[in-house]
Structure 1
Amino acid sequence: MNKMLTAKNALIVAGSLLVSAFGYANDEPRSLPVASVVNDTIVDLMDVHNIPGMAVAVSVNGTPYYFNYGVADQEAGVPVTTDTLFELGSVSKTFTATLAAYAQASGALSLSDPASQYLPALEGSAFDNISLLELGTYTAGGLPLQFPDSVNNEDDMIAYYRQWTPTYAPGTHRLYSNPSIGLLGYLTAQRLGKPYAQLMETHVFSALGLEHSYLQVPEDAQANYALGYSKEDEPIRVSPGVLDAEAYGVKSNTADMLAFIDANMDSSAVDEPLREALEATQMGYVNMGDMTQGLGWERYAYPVSLDQLQAGNSMEMVLEANEAEQLQPPLPADKDVWFNKTGSTNGFGAYVAFVPSQRMGIVMLANRNYPNQARIEAAHHILTTLAATP
């Protein structure tokens, strides 16, 4: 089985695995609408974008539904299951933001502090006047999307930051950046005095009951780690890079990710200070039209149109510096908000969205990097259809 599954075959695979969805919801009148709208949407999506495998999870009023399609390994014909691990790409930034907010809630740091306060090597640099919050909201003054090719290790990274000069006054423009939020994660670990991966495992993954989320996939979980596929349909996985863990390094499955967004929608069962941290990530700090930048999460007033979501996730928003309005005080973590985050590596594409007031959320994980706009259209269709279902 070394060829791509057709859309028809993908649906057959999905149907064979829908027992896991209905096992949670046999008595729920929404079971059939959830299954039909997800299947109809995702099978077409996979066919159009030549996606080998997808795992999709939907949370409706606290009930989880899981749908699995296609293969995690084309050559071996390994089917996608709820246990399949996918690379999350930049969805990882929501975890970095949670750890930083946890450090603030526990009194270890303040997001309003200058970045150089937590790394002596940065004293006397531009980071004397750039706050941790500005790093987390991509408003440091123009840090680029990626590090230059010359940055290959920690020493190179620190030297790069020391010589970097802002293009814009901090806080005035948003430019989406791995080195920006990556530095926030790095400085958080410096302040807490332990390796970043250990802190993430202890204070976020384990604390939220996420038993199958990793920065480095352990040997006993490798069999569940999907292969990603490049544009040339070659198997590929993410390559190591400076601050990769902090910016795009998490691997997870739909069960863990659905538990994560459920905790974000209702944190009442989460212990302090992590509960305060989750709420802090959802606050609105920087406004750019219809999209407001939270900490990791991006937010839109609900209901939200597809056009608004696609504009907020457009390539112009990713690649260009956009004028930003700092919100003082920040917007609270409201319920009538569509929260979302896209994420990609060379071989994977992810999208996560939730609306607390509707008690609905969706996780879409794929082993191909396909356009963000297509992910958003599919998720918006699914959630708005379910919201309108009696």
Structure 2
Amino acid sequence: MKSIKLTYLLVSVLLLSLSSFKIQAQSNQQQRSDSVFFAIKKYIDQRNTSLIYALGSEEYRKAVNEKNLNTFFEKEIYPLGRIKQSSFDGLDNAISRYKLVFESGKLVLSFALDKENKFNSITFTPFKSVIFNKPVPVATSNILKSVLDRQVDSIARAYIQKSNTVGLSIGILNNGVVQNYGYGETEKGKGKLPDANTIFEIGSITKTFTASILAHYVNEGKISLSDPITKYLPDSLFANPELQKIKIINLSNHTSGLPSLPANFIYKGMDRFDPYKSYNEKMLFASLKTCKLRSVPGEVYSYSNQAVGLLGVILERVSGKTYEQLMQHLVTVPLKMNSTCQYLTPLLSSRFVKVYDADGDETKPWDFDALAACGCLRSTVNDLLLYAKANIKCEPSSLSNAFGLSHQVTFSKGPVVGLGWHLYQVKDDKYYWHNGGTGGCRSFLIFNIEKKIAVAVISNAEVDVDDVARGILKKLGS
């Protein structure tokens, strides 16, 4: 028995030694790789392909022409901009991997070294993140006191415990009573919980505000849903017969036949992390001059940011006001939605979250120019519940009349759509909803007029919150 124990001990020591040797070897390999990597990273930011080429082994330089390597970097790598973040991503079969976050994209750099610490292979591939569950429950303001508290927690945990999510703000309106819950962080590593007044990007929920503005001007007689859009556009666009077929209503209910984005939306110099920022009215009109419709207007539902963005431009031309001025004058000021805006003031900026992409990496908030009406707004769950409450009440006023018009069904040959709002029906219950997404936030707002309930959910990560909102709504209705 003692000899067996001694043998087991010797084997264990041997395995431990081998394991330690392997770890040490991997550590040495990473140290060698790191020194080469930091040089490559430096030369990428300097756009110096010659120095990158000089890091290659003699064998590599025989196989790859420097001119060809330079062409590759000039075409595929340098347009992505400077490297903002980098990290070691693993070591497999002597090939070291490093994750690179550029100003306009993400790649994995892989290379293998020879005995002289020269790379004899180098490749760039798209980065694909591995999503896992966080090992420790994230912080929350949910006190888990009521049945609803516990139900919300169960639903929210399925979302916020994912490795690529950061913060979550939830608001519930139930027969006049408001409840709020915060989960996670407004900024990674800071430990600050989001609350009901934390400001996020709400993306395409903005389209319902645009619809409310449109409905107001329809009720005022300043525009008609049946008007051709060319009535409100420059004469140069009238020459395109495709545009003459589109009516104002088609822009709001996604039946215009216009593509989701203009043909010239992706252009040289565009910031892929802030894509709408520099797309201006001149570019939009240039695209419309030659655009071709994908379907006959009014016949097919096809979601279009371009269409609602164009509607916003038309509303600006009708009113003589900017989109933000319209939104403030007609919606947010009357409803005292003091934290909803297109442009953040210094005071509001202090409550604005950091935003993160689908991999959990920090990214840029989105800014808008010509297509602002499709997704430019920032808001809070408190403000969104004020907005939902006003839509539910529909008391006699010009704003309530506009809300009432926006709720009326305008298309039902697929998704059922009003003006801006989407509708779905569960038995006799009719729900109005819209979700939203930017490069670093996701949002969902839904309400039921008869039951006087609403749910607003916003996240500062590019991970959909639809299931969170719908799951909570189901619990409210059960």
Normalised by the size of structure 1, how large is the TM-score?
Answer: 0.80
Q: Determine the structure 1 residue equivalent to 2:301.
A: 174
For 2:347 and 2:409, locate their aligned partners in 1 and report how far apart those are by CA, in whole Å: 39
Counterparts of residues 296-307 of structure 1 (less than 5 Å): 296-303=420-427
Per-residue CA deviation, residues 64-105 of structure 1 (Å, 9 max, x unaligned), is 111111111114333212111010011111111111111111
- Of 246, 259, 273, the residue aligned with 1:143 is 259
Per-residue CA deviation, residues 281-307 of structure 1 (Å, 9 max, x unaligned), is 111111134x3012111001234xxxx
Per-residue CA deviation, residues 261-280 of structure 1 (Å, 9 max, x unaligned), is 11111121xx6321111011
- Of 104, 124, 144, the residue aligned with 2:239 is 124
Q: Determine the structure 2 residue equivalent to 1:277.
A: 402
**Do the aligned residues in 1 keep the contact of 2:163 with 2:360 (CA within 8 Å)?**
no
**Do the aligned residues in 2 keep the contact of 1:99 with 1:203 (CA within 8 Å)?**
yes
**Do the aligned residues in 2 keep the contact of 1:58 with 1:362 (CA within 8 Å)?**
yes
The aligned amino acid for 2:385 is L
Q: Determine the structure 1 residue equivalent to 2:159.
A: 45
For 2:296 and 2:239, locate their aligned partners in 1 and report how far apart those are by CA, in whole Å: 17
For 2:345 and 2:463, locate their aligned partners in 1 and report how far apart those are by CA, in whole Å: 27
Per-residue CA deviation, residues 318-347 of structure 1 (Å, 9 max, x unaligned), is xxxxxxxxxxxxxxxxx8311111110111
**Do the aligned residues in 2 keep the contact of 1:101 with 1:277 (CA within 8 Å)?**
yes
- Of 170, 183, 198, the residue aligned with 2:310 is 183
The aligned amino acid for 1:293 is V
3-state SS in 1 of match to 2:142: helix
1:248 aligns with 2:375: yes
Q: Determine the structure 2 residue equivalent to 1:313.
A: none
3-state SS in 2 of match to 1:13: coil
Pairwise CA RMSD: 2.2
Q: Determine the structure 2 residue equivalent to 1:351.
A: 444
Q: Note the C-alpha offset of 1:196.
A: 1.5
For 2:253 and 2:375, locate their aligned partners in 1 and report how far apart those are by CA, in whole Å: 16
For 1:337 and 1:49, locate their aligned partners in 2 and report how far apart those are by CA, in whole Å: 35
Q: Determine the structure 2 residue equivalent to 1:288.
A: 413
The aligned amino acid for 2:416 is T
For 1:5 and 1:82, locate their aligned partners in 2 and report how far apart those are by CA, in whole Å: 25
Q: Determine the structure 2 residue equivalent to 1:82.
A: 196
Q: Determine the structure 2 residue equivalent to 1:134.
A: 250
Q: Determine the structure 1 residue equivalent to 2:467.
A: 377
The aligned amino acid for 2:168 is M
Q: Note the C-alpha offset of 1:152.
A: 3.2
- Give the 3 Å change call, closer, same or farther, for CA 383–241 of structure 1 in structure 2: closer
For 1:8 and 1:281, locate their aligned partners in 2 and report how far apart those are by CA, in whole Å: 44
3-state SS in 1 of match to 2:162: helix
- Give the 3 Å change call, closer, same or farther, for CA 284–227 of structure 1 in structure 2: same
1:164 aligns with 2:291: yes
For 2:412 and 2:404, locate their aligned partners in 1 and report how far apart those are by CA, in whole Å: 18
1:337 aligns with 2:454: no
3-state SS in 1 of match to 2:470: helix
3-state SS in 1 of match to 2:182: strand
Per-residue CA deviation, residues 1-32 of structure 1 (Å, 9 max, x unaligned), is xxx9958543x43236x8xxxxxxxxxxxx82
For 2:346 and 2:247, locate their aligned partners in 1 and report how far apart those are by CA, in whole Å: 39
**Do the aligned residues in 2 keep the contact of 1:342 with 1:352 (CA within 8 Å)?**
yes
5+ long unaligned stretches in structure 1? 19-30, 304-334
The aligned amino acid for 1:123 is F
- Of 204, 221, 224, the residue aligned with 1:110 is 224
5+ long unaligned stretches in structure 2? 1-131, 268-277
Q: Determine the structure 2 residue equivalent to 1:54.
A: 168
The aligned amino acid for 2:459 is A
The aligned amino acid for 2:423 is R
For 1:39 and 1:232, locate their aligned partners in 2 and report how far apart those are by CA, in whole Å: 23
Higher relative contact order (CA 8 A, sep 6+): 1
Q: Determine the structure 2 residue equivalent to 1:14.
A: 141
**Do the aligned residues in 2 keep the contact of 1:228 with 1:235 (CA within 8 Å)?**
yes
Counterparts of residues 185-224 of structure 1 (less than 5 Å): 185-224=312-351
**Do the aligned residues in 2 keep the contact of 1:105 with 1:274 (CA within 8 Å)?**
no
Q: Determine the structure 2 residue equivalent to 1:320.
A: none
1:68 aligns with 2:182: yes
3-state SS in 1 of match to 2:185: strand
For 1:232 and 1:51, locate their aligned partners in 2 and report how far apart those are by CA, in whole Å: 8
Per-residue CA deviation, residues 328-376 of structure 1 (Å, 9 max, x unaligned), is xxxxxxx8311111110111111111111221110000011113xxx33
For 2:466 and 2:188, locate their aligned partners in 1 and report how far apart those are by CA, in whole Å: 26
